[in-house]
Amino acid sequence: MRKKITKELITDAALELLDQKGIEEVTIKNIAMQLGIKPPSLYNHIANLEDLLDIAAQRSMRNLYDKLVVTSIGLEKKEALWAIAQEYKNFAKTWPGQYQLVQKVKLWKSDETKELSEQIIEIFSKILQKYALSEDDTIHFIRTLRSYLHGFALLEMDDAFGLPQELEKSFSIGLNIILTDLDSE
């Protein structure tokens, strides 16, 4: 007996495809094939692929948000930033498709998706409040940290680090340089 098709099941299939094969392979045809149904049947549950990608982005952001919150519980300042930076990078490595979708702002169509993104930024902002940075400096710092994390994650996912030096040590050195600047603020 085949499972009853639901929006949840369709989203699960999309996320599985996303993480296994990348965003380019998340198509109505491929999702239907994975679920063992005809493509038109999906439209009983979703408006279109754009709608599904937005729903998948929400689920991915909730996943990332939950991991960052759990990782930072009970930690403050650099210790908290260090922990969420590691978790952010681990998320990208563990769920590469979801990570990719979280970064694709142009695919976010609903206010809920944008609000979830803001909640992730708020995790960083709350930790940075302990440093008494201005609002502008807080945003600049978050952008800098996110750029470093994103760049490192992409290079690691693409196996672009060809030298024999240990990746975690390289990551730690770069992160330490960024976090050290907080002490001078």
Q: Which three-class secondary structure string do you get for 78-146? A: HHHHHHHHHHHHHHHHHCHHHHHHHHCHHHCCCHHHHHHHHHHHHHHHHHHHHHCCCHHHHHHHHHHHH
C-beta atoms surrounding 3 within 10 Å: 8
Backbone angles phi, psi at 6, to 5 degrees: -135, 165
Residue-wise pLDDT for 109-160, tens only, equals 889 989 999 999 999 999 999 998 999 999 999 999 999 999 999 999 888 8
Domains annotated for the chain, with CATH where assigned, are 49-183 (1.10.357.10)
Question: What is the reported pLDDT for 132?
Answer: 86
**Which tokens in the block code for residue 40?**
């038109």
CA dist 64 and 68 (Å) reads: 6
- CB-based burial, 99-126: b 16+ in 10 Å, e otherwise: bbbbeeeebbeeeebeebbeebeebbbe
Residue-wise pLDDT for 92-113, tens only, equals 999 999 999 999 878 778 899 8
pTM score, whole prediction:
0.88
Looking at the predicted structure, is the pLDDT value of residue 31 above 60?
yes
